[in-house]
Structure 1
Amino acid sequence: MKAIRVWDLPTRLFHWALVVIIAGAFITQYLGGEAMAWHFRFGYAALVLVLFRVLWGLIGPRYARFASFLRSPATIVSYLRGRTGGHGSGHNPLGGLSVLAMLAVILLQAGSGLFSNDDIATEGPLAHVIDKGLSDQLSWLHAQVTGPLIYGLIGLHLLAIAYHRVFKKRDLVTPMITGDQLTESDDLPANDNAPVRTVALLLMGCCAMGVYGVVHW
Structure 2
Amino acid sequence: MTGAPLSSSTPAAMLAWDLPTRLAKWGLAALVGLAFASRYWGDAALVWHQWNGLAILVVLVFRLLWGLVGGSTARFAGFLAGPAAVLGYAGRLLKGRPPHFLGHNPLGGWMVLALLAIVAAQGLTGLFTSDDIIVYGPMTPVVSDETIRSASSWHQRLYPFLLALIALHVLANLAYSLFGRDNLIRAMVTGCKPAATYTDRAPATPGGVGLAFACLGLSVLIVFGGIALAGGHPFP
1:137 is aligned to: 150
Q: Which residue of structure 2 aligns with residue 175 of structure 1?
A: 187
Q: How many Å apart are 1:86 and its aligned residue?
A: 1.2
Counterparts of 1:207 and 1:121, CA distance in 2? 28
Question: Is 2:83 the counterpart of 1:73?
Answer: yes
| Counterpart residue number, 1:17 | 27
* Percent identical residues: 37
Shift of 1:120: 2.3
C-alpha distance in structure 1 between counterparts of 2:224 and 2:109, whole Å: 29
For 1:88, give the aligned amino acid: F
1:208 maps to which of 213, 217, 220: 220
Task: State yes or no: 1:49 paired with 2:59.
Answer: yes
- How far has the Cα of 1:185 moved from its partner? 0.7
- Equivalences for residues 53-64 of structure 1 within 5 A: 53-64=63-74
Distance 1:16 1:32 in 2: 22
* Conserved 8 A contact 2:177-2:184: yes
- TM-score normalised by structure 1 residue count: 0.92
Cα RMSD for the two superposed structures: 1.8
After TM superposition, give the deviation of residue 203 of structure 1 in Å: 0.9
Could you tell me which of 116, 126, 133 is aligned with 1:113?
126
With structure 2 as the length reference, what TM-score do the two structures score? Answer: 0.85
User: Aligned letter for 2:226?
Assistant: V
Structure 1 SS opposite 2:92: coil
1:79-131, CA deviations, whole angstroms, 9 ceiling, x for partnerless residues?
11117751421101110010000111111111111111123210111111111
Query: Offset at 1:188?
Result: 2.7
Stretches of structure 2 lacking an aligned partner (at least 5 in a row): 6-11, 232-236
| 1:166 CA drift (Å) | 2.6
Distance 2:31 2:121 in 1: 16
| Distance in structure 2 (CA, Å) of the matches to 1:215 and 1:42 | 15
Give the distance between the partners of 2:45 and 2:108, measured in 1 at CA. Answer: 34
Q: CA deviation at 1:32?
A: 4.8
Q: Gaps (5+ residues) in structure 1?
A: none
The amino acid across from 1:164 in the alignment is Y
Aligned length: 214
Structure number with higher helix proportion: 1
Q: Tell me the distance in 1 between the aligned counterparts of 2:130 and 2:100.
A: 45
TM-aligned CA distance change 1:174 to 1:35, over 3 Å: farther
Larger radius of gyration, structure 1 or 2?
A: 2
Residue 204 of structure 2 is matched in structure 1 by 190
